[in-house]
Structures are given as C-alpha cells and as structure tokens.
Amino acid sequence: MTRGFIIPIGGAEEKISGRTILRRVVEVCGGDEARIAIIPTASRLPKMSSHYEKIFKDLGVGDVFSLPFEKRSDCRRSDWLSRLETATGVFMTGGNQLRLSTTIGGTPVAERIRDRNLEGSLHVAGTSAGASFMAEHMIAYGEEGSTPCADMVTLVPGLGLKRNMIVDQHFRERDRLGRLLTAISYNPRPIGIGLDENTAAFISGSNVLEVVGSGALTVVDPSDMEFSSMDSTRSHAPVSLINIRLHVLVEGGTYDIDSRLARPGLATVKG
C-alpha cells in the first residue's frame, strides 16, 4: 500500500500565468480524469471556492466541486461525505489555519481524508493555512524574526497526515525562520519545512519530497541537536540551539524524510 501525495504550498502560488504548481497538482490527481474537492474553510472570502474551481477547470480537470465546511455539524453531512469519497484530490485554501483545525479537526471529514490518503486513493494539497494544517503538529500563530525565542510560537494539533514534520509558509517573505526553529526546539522529533511563496513540496508515498516552484524550501533537521536552552530561557528571550542541520532546496531539489538526505536539483548542479 502506497500513501497518496501530500502537497503543502507556501502560499501566493501562480494563478494566472504559468501555474506550475497547480498544474502539477492536477497531474498527480489524475489529469483530465481528476476529481478535486475544494475545501475553503480557512478563508472568509465568499468567492474563494469559485475562484479555485475556475482555475482547476481551466487546467482541464473534469470534476471540481466545493465542500464549504463552515460548522462542525457540516462535517457530518452524509451528502458531503459521500462527495468527498468520490474525490481523487483535496485542495485546502489559505486563510486562518485555526478555522481548519477547530472546524474539521476530530470530525469524520478529517478521518476520511487521513484514511484515504494513507490507502493511496486521495492526494491532499493545501496552500498557506491549508499547508500548515496538514501535519500532526500545526503552528497556530507566532512572531516574525530569524532568531528562535521562548514563547515565540504556539503549536496545536493539525490534520495528522504526517507525524514527523512541521510546516510553515510565506517563509522568507514573512521572516519565519525563528518561529520554525522555536517549534522544533520544543521537541526535536519532527523536521521543520519552511516554504517560500509560490513554492511547494510534493511528498510522495515513499516519504521523498520534491521542490516545485520559484522560491526555496528550507529544511530544519534537529535529529543531531546536542543542546537546547528552551527549558531554562525566560519568556521572549533568545534560545540557544546547537548542532541544528539546515538545508535550502530549490526547484527540483529532493529530501528523503526517512534518511534525512538532501539532494540538489539537476539545474543547480554545475558540470
């Protein structure tokens, strides 16, 4: 059994020209035979669903539909759950990731998305807030800055598609290295993935991610961390971290989440 793709996107992906990431999402989900469910729960913009529906239809998807879960009771509607069962792909829009976790978390919708992704029948993509929600631990909110500090970030349970990673988005544009380092320093079991805008990680069932898009993907690997002062640092003070490994990958670069091995894309290798 091979798990379906997990595709976190850093936000602000190209929607007019190019559409490199969204085209790849369509390809993974089945091309013109794809059936994509849009989940706009994170957003309060009424036109968000129709906006993405038009984009995916323009990219050749034959069946695109919205599942606008606004209340937890919506996540138990048998008609919408049946519709979710027909999808080959789910796309979660941007907005506020806490709206996703408080509305969908712990419901039959979350359970079916996890189960179908695990069995390989459903690929799951999300941009911005939708990307943060994917993993077991989610950054709810935090401060900007490149230095990790105590109390800089708040973590809450996410969707749980992946146990061993934490995702942050709009990474370079909003100076979020510090809060990702802070999140990792609480417990150095998962890796941190920071996605620039218009940049995505296509994570296959074999736990190898490939970078797609115009920005960079930052991997924070704490597996060899020797020291963290998080337990003794006063509130909002800088945190000391020793022996953290960091990778910056661009288009075509890959990272094996199990072996923790990073490789550059062919376009970045000279000779």
Predicted local distance difference test score (pLDDT) of residue 266: 78
Among 13, 53, 197, 251, the one annotated catalytic: 197
Among 128, 132, 185, 228, the one annotated catalytic: 128
The pLDDT tens digits of the residues spanning 2-11 come to 999 999 999 9
Query: For residue 27, what are its two tokens?
Result: 């390809």
Active-site residue flag, 197: yes
Q: What are phi and psi of 164, to 5 degrees?
A: -110, 35
Lowest mean pLDDT among 23-27, 131-135, 264-268: 264-268
DSSP state of 53: H
- Domain 6-265: which topology? Rossmann fold (3.40.50)
The pLDDT tens digits of the residues spanning 18-59 come to 999 999 999 999 999 999 999 999 999 989 999 999 999 999
Among 43, 49, 101, 170, the one annotated catalytic: 170
Q: What are the boundaries of each domain within the chain? A: 6-265
Cβ contact 98:140 at 8 Å:
yes
Nearest to 106 by CA among 130, 67, 133: 133
Cβ contact 192:164 at 8 Å:
no
Query: For residue 126, what are its two tokens?
Result: 């999300």
What does the alpha-carbon distance between residue 254 and residue 270 come to, in Å, rounded to a whole number?
Answer: 17
Active-site residue flag, 228: no
Cβ contact 227:185 at 8 Å:
no
Active-site residue flag, 251: no
